[in-house]
Amino acid sequence: MRIGITYDLKEAWLSSGYSLEETAEFDSLETVQAIENALRSMGHQPVRIGGLDDLMTALCRGRSWDMVFNIAEGMHGFGRESAIPAILDARQIPYTFSDPLVLAVSLHKATAKRVVRDCGLKTPRFIVVETPLDLENAGLNYPVFAKPIAEGTGKGVDGQSFIKTPEELEATCRVLLAKHRQPVLVEEFLPGREFTVGIVGTGRNARVVGVMEVLVDSAYEGGNYGYENKAKYEDRVSYVLASGDEAEASAQLALDSWLALGCRDGGRVDVRMDSSDRPAFIEVNPLPGLHPVDSDLPILCGLIGVSYDSLIEQIVNSALDRVLDDPEVALLLEELSAFESENVA
């Protein structure tokens, strides 16, 4: 198959004047090359496309692909991850990972939590702060945890994110509102272990590939898994494959959350244990980082002995299964055909 690759190249955005932190979620040439190599090892013909502008230019010139491997994050707005999938949907070009609706809902962490909560799954109580006035009568129990509502790679999470008093909360929210120009998600803090759960597949074929505990040195940024600690993870963070009752409960909650949100093909769900050792949904990443060395999902796969190429193959195969050989669609079409035959007769 001829598979295009869409991505936001960090170097290109940096050369346009954006900062290292603004481009933290974007991809390196090493990531694009690794995906390209994996696709080629599967027998496919990879074609580099680039970001949103590159995709639109290529489409306007009449180019197309059998499928697109999409890892483009986009730069602006709550729909930034959805832009390329929406265009590909309009052109009826299949692509990997989730659809525009799921990506937008998941990027807005409060909306994702509302969906998960409404499906009966546990997530910490929270409020959304759009202005400091929203902090009046917040109604949350301290300590709380504050972060931008729609950022990834730990942006906006640092030593000030763990908050014990209303005064600290107001100060942190004012900084986040001013710096990130978006609402702040404030959650009741859960004191237990933190896991990230890797998932591959879609719908009834979705499966947990592993549960990884994230252990951050408390000497740095309050021990929070934020931007600085992620960037310097080799010195500050330990990743340990988790097992036992807490890991199993976290895996089930992550899979239930994945299905509730309608995520596809591959990604991660972050889970944290409460004071009674019960897991709670924190957030989902349905467009995971895929740097072969530094990104969480490849790190997790490495701990369980799954190679990078195998991870990419599982993601592509999930997309192919649902696009080209969806048994549920086939069954519905078969039932529709039978119904029409009976009514004609």
One-character DSSP codes across 33-80: HHHHHHHHHTT-EEEEEESHHHHHHHHHTT---SEEEE----SSSTTT
- β-pairing, 144-148 vs 184-188, is antiparallel
- Nearest-angstrom CA–CA distance, 108 and 21: 19
Q: Which amino acid is at 204?
A: R
List, in sequence order, every residue forming a beta bridge with 271; answer none if it has no partner: 195, 281
One-character DSSP codes across 128-189: EESSGGGGTT--PPSSEEEEETT--TTTT-STTSEE-SHHHHHHHHHHHHHHH-S-EEEEE-
* Closest by Cα among 224, 142, 151 to 189: 142
List, in sequence order, every residue forming a beta bridge with 216; answer none if it has no partner: 237
What is the model's pLDDT at position 39? 96
The position carrying tokens 């050369």 is 15
Are the C-beta atoms of residues 2 and 40 closer than 8 Å to each other?
A: no
- Nearest-angstrom CA–CA distance, 131 and 127: 12
- Nearest-angstrom CA–CA distance, 174 and 158: 14
In the chain, how many H helices and how many E strands?
A: 13, 12
Q: Each residue's pLDDT tens digit in the chain (345 positions)?
A: 899 999 999 999 999 999 888 888 899 999 999 999 999 999 999 999 999 999 999 999 999 999 999 999 999 999 999 999 999 999 999 999 999 999 999 999 999 999 999 999 999 999 999 999 999 888 999 999 999 999 887 888 888 889 999 999 999 999 999 999 999 999 999 999 999 999 999 999 999 999 999 888 787 777 777 777 778 888 888 899 999 999 999 999 999 999 999 999 999 999 999 999 999 999 999 999 999 998 999 999 999 999 999 999 999 999 999 887 655 555 655 665 676 677 655
Token representation of residue 207: 């499966």
Token representation of residue 232: 């310097």
- Nearest-angstrom CA–CA distance, 290 and 7: 11
What is the model's pLDDT at position 326? 58
Kindly list the structural domains of the chain, giving each domain's residue range(s) and its CATH number in brackets, ordered by start: 2-96 (3.40.50.20), 125-188 (3.30.1490), 193-324 (3.30.470.20)
Residues in the chain: 345
Farthest-apart Cα atoms in the chain, separation: 76
- Nearest-angstrom CA–CA distance, 76 and 89: 20
* Closest by Cα among 152, 148, 179 to 161: 148
What is the model's pLDDT at position 20? 86
Q: Which amino acid is at 32?
A: V
- Nearest-angstrom CA–CA distance, 300 and 198: 7
